[in-house]
Amino acid sequence: MIRGGSTTNRDHVGKSNHVHAYTVGQFASLDRKYDRGVCINVLSVIPSPNVRLGIVQLMRSKQKPRGTCLLVTLYRNSDFTRMQKLPNCQPYGNGFLMDSLRGHSFYGLIPPDDLASLVKRGICR
């Protein structure tokens, strides 16, 4: 909900001429280079460390020479602390899998030092 209206992130972002939202495949296929990249609460929902690294490397490959990235992840969350104790949750990597009526969901917490290490590995070629 934004301003009382139901929408999706893609539809809301599509109304701006300065912001674009892409899937990983769409972003990878673009020939453009960017001044700024933003990745908010994406890496912490990806259970595979190799896929996370691939996302960071892809973002780096799409930057202009003096471009910047903002990567934001969760590393502390009281809801997650409560949820991971539920009987339908099991530890997985640096998070947990939750089995629900909709299927399995992954919830990860990436500590700041781990995020810094991931970014360092992703930008050093």
List of residues 6+ apart from 46 with CB closer than 8 A = 52, 55, 106, 108
Q: Cβ–Cβ contacts within 10 Å for residue 92, how many?
A: 14
Write the pLDDT tens digit of every residue in 86-121.
999 999 988 889 998 889 988 888 888 888 899 888
Write the pLDDT tens digit of every residue in 50-88.
999 999 999 999 999 988 888 888 777 777 778 888 999
C-alpha to C-alpha distance for 28 and 24, rounded to whole angstroms = 6
Say what the pLDDT of residue 111 is: 85
Q: Is residue 98 within 8 Å of 109, Cβ to Cβ?
A: no
pLDDT of 14 over the 80 cut? no
Length of the chain: 125
Say what the pLDDT of residue 53 is: 94
pTM of the model: 0.75
Q: Are strands 95-100 and 103-108 parallel, antiparallel or unpaired?
A: antiparallel
